[in-house]
Structure 1
Amino acid sequence: MPATRSRRRWGLRAAAVAAGLVLTAGGVGHAVLGSAEHGVHRVDPFTGLRDRPDAGRGLNILLIGTDSREGLTADEREEYHLGHASCYCADTILLLHLSEAGDRATVVSLPRDSYAKLPEHTFAVSGAHHEPHAGKLNAALSHGGPPLMVRTVEDLTGVRVDHYLEVSFGGFMRAVDEVGGVKVCTPRPLRDAHSGLDLPAGTSRLDGAEALAYVRARYVDGGSDLGRMNRQQTFLAAFADQAITGGALLDPARLGATVRALLDSVRADPGFGAEQMLQLAGVLKDFSPSDTRFASVPVQEAGRSVPGLGSTVIWDDGAARRLFAALSEDRPLPRPERSTTTPATLATLATPAPTAEDDDPPAAGGVSC
């Protein structure tokens, strides 16, 4: 098998688990995983949940990247363009499905600006009781913590969440630095003053701070959260590829440092321990590109203005129901549906994660990745 094909295969294989789970796909031993289990901060995201979707076949993991600045100094927040006010909001929302037979993985990105109905809850900040109300999906975390986040995702998708993983900015940046940085390729320059992103056209190796700007940038695609999701999927595959081919998972010292960097800012449900990590590793170790699918929720309207909420993402209800029914029933995803109202770039169902930034074709003077 050619080297480039082999690297892509490993990258897709491990990217399916994202963030901290990438470590388990590299054959990490029981001792390291046992240590990792004790280092993970625990949170119960299933407290008080009622009338949940029926358990389907396979395993569903909700992965949340948070906007928390916990553990970062004021100087670091300034350097990384993070601002000084920390919002416990969901900056990235991924739903990972592993088939019951262990032969297929699916990663679905849920737009953070998705229009949602937040169920009845106790507001985490004030303790006040809130009746159900409209909101953006990412606000569920700040309003009611992980339980409201899980409940809102389950209400939107009809998919039962089996495990919950949450990672914040600090651990993400340190993990990227520990694996030696991550290469990405963009066919045109990418600049976003809000996130601090400033990349030339072509291939760049990103350190932790640059990687954070790359996955957070929202103003290089006309303010599109959907283009950002595509970059996040691309980066996860590239991060996993670098962790494996760069030797971080084969060097005990580097592996330990990478694990510690992630654990500094990872929270998981009590049921997600070393045994589940090893089980997940066993499922993923033989994956090939054809076994892994990256997808985004089908969108009807990407920027609908809603009073009190601002710009929201409206799902295509019919196509979304078919997608999540396939997950619940442990079937392969339906093929993309293209329409006159949904841009082709949004119809990304059942497409492998790209290996290069390809939100847009190369502009004049750009490069081909």
Structure 2
Amino acid sequence: MLTHIDPPAGSRRARRLRLAVPGVFLIVAAVGTGHAAAQPLPVQRVDVFDDMKNRPDAGNGTNILLMGTDGRDTITRKEKREFHAGGVACNCTDTLMLVHVSEARDRVSVVGLPRDSYADIPAHRDEATGEERPAHPGKINGAYAEGGPELSVRTVEEMTGVRVDRYLQLDFRRFMDSVETVGGVRVCTSRPLKDRTTKLDLAPGSHLLDGGRSLQYVRSRHVDGSADFGRIQRQQRFLVAAMKSVRTGNVLTDSVRAARLGRSLVGAAQVDRGFSAEQILTLAKDLGKLPASSMEFTTVPVNGFSETLNGALQWDRPKADKVFRALGQDRPLTRDSKARLSDPPRFGSPVTVRGDTIECR
């Protein structure tokens, strides 16, 4: 399924490559590459899939791994101070979302993978020392630090049994710049949101966030006792709000803003070599037609902490396997959910919600 040779136009594989991840990140990246044929954008290509073996079988639809790293050397000292984004980066993935776009292009399912999930890191060559490391336990976000995007993809595939077709990696700078270009993103909260680390401070109600405050919003994990579960919910809520900002702000129809947005985002994005700018553009056009009700969000169910790895979350395997089987079989995660992402999630019992239940009203 993964190839560096363009498939014939109209083939099933070609159709599958014209699917996209929800959210401002991929939408604006795609729109901004509208002139890519004449003026290619400087996308950093990363060859992740060539040497991967013993992978899960390909299913219908397309699976994309969205990776948000904690790289912060691209933002200024002033921005670090103002938005409390300093500290030492662990060179790991703060955010991991497995996104499934249905074969019929009529549904998008987003599964949040908690950063502290217990994982069996596959055997690999250490990037720093060049030494071969055997398989060993670790947290899922540490796979990137040990072996970059390839090891992250391999770890997610082994944990989920889902074949990853594409991946996109984002850092602080590109996130902030993309939000600024669309004129900010409006989010809603039914309760106060205060985080002692990021200094996020939002009163109940609706807020238009600029790039820096948006970074605080999606990074905060000390708002309440829900920790990373709450942060995943806010990130999922932000994706829906960002889509709405792109649409209502006429970014899609303003070629200058769209091109600027694409350059600011895609220029720093690392994508696998088969994800061309032209394909991303087609993906965004297809995705832009989907209503929020066609998107569903959930988090991997967990049932406690690992007894062998301090602080690591243990997945509830029967429930988690049910989620990943649905993705592999191109089925919706839930037939009809009226739940809302409004209250802190209960530990280990995340709900699956539709995108239209988490929009600002």
TM-score, length-normalised on structure 1?
0.83
Structure 1 residues 219 and 35: alpha-carbon distance in aligned structure 2, compared to 1, 3 A threshold: farther
2:23 alignment counterpart: 18
Amino acid at match of 2:182: V
Amino acid at match of 1:92: T
The secondary structure found in structure 2 opposite 1:94 is strand
CA deviation vs aligned residue, 1:124-166 (integer Å, no higher than 9, x gap): 2333322111111111111100110000000010000111110
CA distance in 2, matches of 1:135, 1:108: 20
CA distance in 2, matches of 1:29, 1:215: 23
Structure 1 residues 250 and 282: alpha-carbon distance in aligned structure 2, compared to 1, 3 A threshold: closer
State yes or no: 1:178 paired with 2:178. Answer: no
Asked if the contact 1:69/1:169 (under 8 Å) is kept, the reply is yes
CA distance in 1, matches of 2:270, 2:108: 22
The secondary structure found in structure 2 opposite 1:82 is coil
CA distance in 1, matches of 2:241, 2:107: 20
Match of 1:133 among 122, 131, 136: 136
1:365 alignment counterpart: none
State yes or no: 1:316 paired with 2:316. Answer: yes
The secondary structure found in structure 2 opposite 1:160 is coil
Structure 1 residues 223 and 329: alpha-carbon distance in aligned structure 2, compared to 1, 3 A threshold: closer
CA distance in 2, matches of 1:297, 1:125: 31
- What is the CA distance between 1:84 and its match in structure 2? 4.2
Query: Structure 2: where are the runs of 5+ without partners?
Result: 1-18, 338-344
CA distance in 2, matches of 1:125, 1:154: 23
Aligned-residue sequence identity (percent) comes to 44
Amino acid at match of 2:258: L
Taking only aligned residues, the RMSD between alpha carbons, in angstroms, comes to 2.7
CA distance in 2, matches of 1:352, 1:344: 22
1:189 alignment counterpart: 192
The secondary structure found in structure 1 opposite 2:251 is coil
CA distance in 1, matches of 2:101, 2:131: 38
1:110 alignment counterpart: 113
Match of 1:294 among 281, 297, 317: 297
1:330 alignment counterpart: 330
- What is the CA distance between 1:344 and its match in structure 2? 8.0
State yes or no: 1:162 paired with 2:165. Answer: yes
Asked if the contact 2:74/2:172 (under 8 Å) is kept, the reply is no
Amino acid at match of 1:160: R
Structure 1 residues 124 and 219: alpha-carbon distance in aligned structure 2, compared to 1, 3 A threshold: same
State yes or no: 1:208 paired with 2:211. Answer: yes
Asked if the contact 1:89/1:139 (under 8 Å) is kept, the reply is yes
CA distance in 2, matches of 1:36, 1:336: 44
Amino acid at match of 1:154: E
Structure 1 residues 138 and 81: alpha-carbon distance in aligned structure 2, compared to 1, 3 A threshold: same
Structure 1 residues 80 and 24: alpha-carbon distance in aligned structure 2, compared to 1, 3 A threshold: closer
1:362 alignment counterpart: none
Asked if the contact 1:115/1:313 (under 8 Å) is kept, the reply is yes
CA deviation vs aligned residue, 1:33-69 (integer Å, no higher than 9, x gap): 4468532111122243110001111111111011011
CA deviation vs aligned residue, 1:6-32 (integer Å, no higher than 9, x gap): xxxxxxxx995234321277xx48743
The secondary structure found in structure 1 opposite 2:47 is coil
- What is the CA distance between 1:86 and its match in structure 2? 2.7
CA distance in 2, matches of 1:346, 1:336: 18
CA deviation vs aligned residue, 1:49-105 (integer Å, no higher than 9, x gap): 110001111111111011011322333323332224233211111111111122221
Q: 1:197-236 counterparts in 2 under 5 A?
A: 197-222=200-225, 224-236=227-239
- What is the CA distance between 1:305 and its match in structure 2? 5.8
Asked if the contact 1:226/1:346 (under 8 Å) is kept, the reply is no
The secondary structure found in structure 2 opposite 1:23 is helix
Structure 1 residues 116 and 29: alpha-carbon distance in aligned structure 2, compared to 1, 3 A threshold: closer
Structure 1 residues 123 and 75: alpha-carbon distance in aligned structure 2, compared to 1, 3 A threshold: farther
CA distance in 2, matches of 1:354, 1:129: 47
Query: Structure 1: where are the runs of 5+ without partners?
Result: 1-13, 358-368
| Total equivalences in the alignment | 337
State yes or no: 1:280 paired with 2:293. Answer: no
Asked if the contact 1:165/1:268 (under 8 Å) is kept, the reply is yes
- What is the CA distance between 1:279 and its match in structure 2? 3.7
CA distance in 1, matches of 2:315, 2:275: 30
TM-score, length-normalised on structure 2?
0.85
The secondary structure found in structure 1 opposite 2:222 is coil
Structure 1 residues 187 and 69: alpha-carbon distance in aligned structure 2, compared to 1, 3 A threshold: same
1:255 alignment counterpart: 258
Amino acid at match of 1:241: K
Asked if the contact 1:186/1:356 (under 8 Å) is kept, the reply is no
The secondary structure found in structure 1 opposite 2:186 is strand
CA distance in 2, matches of 1:169, 1:30: 21
- What is the CA distance between 1:227 and its match in structure 2? 0.6
1:149 alignment counterpart: 152
- What is the CA distance between 1:289 and its match in structure 2? 3.3
Answer with 267-276 or 36-45: which moved more: 36-45
